[in-house]
Structure 1
Amino acid sequence: METTKRDAACDGGSNEPVAGSGSPQRTTTTPATNGDASTQSPQHWRGQPIEAIHRGLQLFELEHLGPIQPSGFHRVLYKHPICESINEAPRPLKSAPKWDAQHVRLPCAEESKYPRENADGSSEIDSRWEMIERALLRPISNSKQLEAAILSYNTTYRNQWNFRSLHKLLREEFDKSEARVFFEDLLPRIIRLALRLPELIKAPVPLLKQYKTSALTLSQQQISCLLANAFLCTYPRRNTLKRKSEYSTFPDINFNRLYQAECPSTLEKLKCIFHYFRRVCPTERDSSNVPTGCVTFVRRSAKPEIQQDWSTSEAPLGNVPLHINAAGTIEDQGIGLLQVDFANKFLGGGVLGHGCVQEEIRFVICPELIVSKLFTECLRPHEALLMVGAERYSNYTGYANSFMWAGNHEDLTPRDSSRRRQTAIVAIDALQFRETSMQYRKDLMERELNKAHVGFMPWMPTLSPGIATGNWGCGAFGGDPHLKALLQLMVCADLGRPLAYFTFGNEQLRDDLHAMWQLFRNRGTTVQELWFLLRRFDQRLLKTNTNLNLYDFLKEELLRATKATASASTSASSSNVTPTSGTSGSVEETNAMMMAASLDSHPSEKLTPPSKTRQLTLLEMLDNHYEKGQTAAGSKRPRHSASSAGSSSTTTTPATMKCRKESLDDLDASSSSNSNNPR
Structure 2
Amino acid sequence: MKKFISGYLAFCTNHGQARCHSKMACKNDSSQVKACLNHPDVIGESRAGSSRETTDGSSPKRRHSQSSGNEATGSRQKPGAEARSGDTWGEGKLKSEPECHMQLDKLFANRQHTVLIDSPNAVESRWAGIERALKKLMHRGASVGDVEGAIKMYNPAHSMDWSFEALYTYVEKISKLENNFSNLISKMAKLALKLPELIQHPIPLLRQNCSHAITMSQEQISCLLANAFFCTFPHRNTRHAGSEYGNFPTINFSSLFAVRSPGTLEKLRALFHYFNTVTEEATKPIGLVTFERICIPPSQWPEWNKRMENMTNLHVCSKGFIEKEGKGMLQVDFASKFVGGGVLGRGLVQEEIRFIQCPELIVARLFTEKLADNECLKITGAQMYSNTAGYSDNFEWHSPHTDSTERDEWKRHYCQIVAIDALKFDDPRQQFTEKNIKRELLKAYVGFRKDPNIPTDYTPAVATGNWGCGAFKGDPMLKALIQMMAAAVAQRDLAYFTFENKKQAEDLQRMHALLKGHKMTVGKLYNLLQDYCKHYSHHHHKAKNVFDYISEKMGVRASQL
In which range does the TM-score fall when normalised by the shorter chain? 0.7 to 0.9
Q: How far did residue 525 of structure 1 move?
A: 1.3
SS at match of 2:235: coil
- The AA in structure 1 aligned to 2:284 is V
Asked whether 1:474 is paired with 2:466, we answer no
Q: Distance in 2 between matches of 1:425 and 1:361?
A: 13
CA distance in 2, matches of 1:546, 1:512: 20
The answer to whether 1:196 aligns with 2:194 is yes
Q: Which runs of 5+ in 2 are unaligned?
A: 18-27, 47-56, 58-121
> 1:316 matched to which residue of 2?
310
CA distance in 2, matches of 1:495, 1:423: 19
| Candidates 483, 486, 500, aligned match of 1:505 | 500
1:275 corresponds in structure 2 to 273
> Which residue in the other structure is 1:170 paired with?
171
Structure 2: distance between partners of 1:189 and 1:154 = 22
Q: Is the 8 A contact 1:384 1:451 kept in 2?
A: yes
The Cα of 1:114 is off from its aligned counterpart by 2.6
Q: Which residue of 2 aligns with 1:552?
A: 548
Residue 315 (structure 1) shift: 1.1
Which of structure 1's runs of 4+ aligned residues deviate more than 6 A? Answer: 93-96, 102-105
Instruction: State the Cα RMSD in Å.
Output: 2.3
CA contact (8 A) 2:239 2:248 kept: no
Equivalent position of 2:68 in the other structure: none
Give 2:393's aligned residue.
401
Q: Deviations over 1:591-639 (max 9, x none)?
A: xxxxxxxxxxxxxxxxxxxxxxxxxxxxxxxxxxxxxxxxxxxxxxxxx
Q: Which residue of 1 aligns with 2:132?
A: 134
Q: Which amino acid aligns with 1:404?
A: E
Counterparts of residues 270-669 of structure 1 (less than 5 Å) = 270-282=268-280, 287-304=281-298, 306-317=300-311, 320-459=312-451, 460-463=453-456, 464-544=459-539, 546-559=542-555
Q: For 1:289, what is the secondary structure of its paired residue? A: coil
Matching residue of 2:61:
none
Amino acid at match of 2:329: L
Structure 2 Cα separation of the partners of residues 302 and 95 of structure 1:
35
Deviation string for 1:447-493 (max 9, x for gaps)? 00000101101114222110000000111101011110010001111
Q: What one-letter code is carried by the residue in structure 1 that aligns with 2:127? A: W
Secondary structure at 1:476's aligned position in 2?
coil
Secondary structure at 1:203 match in 2:
coil
Q: Indicate how the Cα distance of structure 1 residues 437 and 409 shifts in structure 2: closer, same or farther if over 3 A, else same.
A: same
**Mapped contact 1:343–1:359 kept (Cα < 8 A):** yes
Alpha-carbon contact 1:262-1:354 (below 8 Å) kept? no
Distance 2:176 2:551 in 1: 63
Amino acid at match of 1:390: A
Deviation of residue 138 (structure 1)?
Answer: 2.0
AA of the residue aligned to 2:288: C
C-alpha distance in 1, partners of 2:298/2:231? 36
User: What 5-or-longer segments of structure 1 have no aligned partner?
Assistant: 1-92, 562-679
Q: Within 1, Cα distance between the matches of 2:264 and 2:143?
A: 19
**Does structure 1 retain, via aligned residues, the 8 Å contact 2:6–2:38?**
no
What is residue 32 of structure 1 aligned with on the other side?
A: none
Q: Give CA deviations for 1:313-354 in whole Å, capped at 9, x if unaligned.
A: 11112xx11110011100000011000000001000000000
* One of 242, 245, 265 as aligned partner of 1:244: 242
The offset of 1:94, in angstroms, is 8.2
Counterparts of 1:486 and 1:456, CA distance in 2: 14
Residue 205 of structure 1 aligns with an amino acid whose one-letter code is I
Are the equivalent residues in 2 in contact too, given 1:95–1:203 (CA < 8 A)? no
What is the CA–CA distance in structure 1 between the aligned matches of 2:191 and 2:384, rounded to whole Å? 20
Other-structure match for 1:156: 157
Q: 1:151 to 1:109 in 2, by over 3 A?
A: farther
Q: Is the 8 A contact 1:433 1:477 kept in 2?
A: yes
Answering whether residue 233 of structure 2 is matched by residue 232 of structure 1, we say no
Identity score, percent: 43
Secondary structure of the residue aligned to 1:126 is coil
Whether 2:41 is the aligned partner of 1:112: answer yes
Shift of 1:126: 3.1
Matched position secondary structure for 1:114: coil
CA deviation after TM superposition for structure 1 residue 193, in Å:
0.4
Q: What SS does the corresponding residue of 2:43 show, helix, strand or coil?
A: strand
Amino acid of the residue matched to residue 200 of structure 2? Answer: K
Which whole-Å CA distance do the structure 2 matches of 1:177 and 1:408 have between them? 14
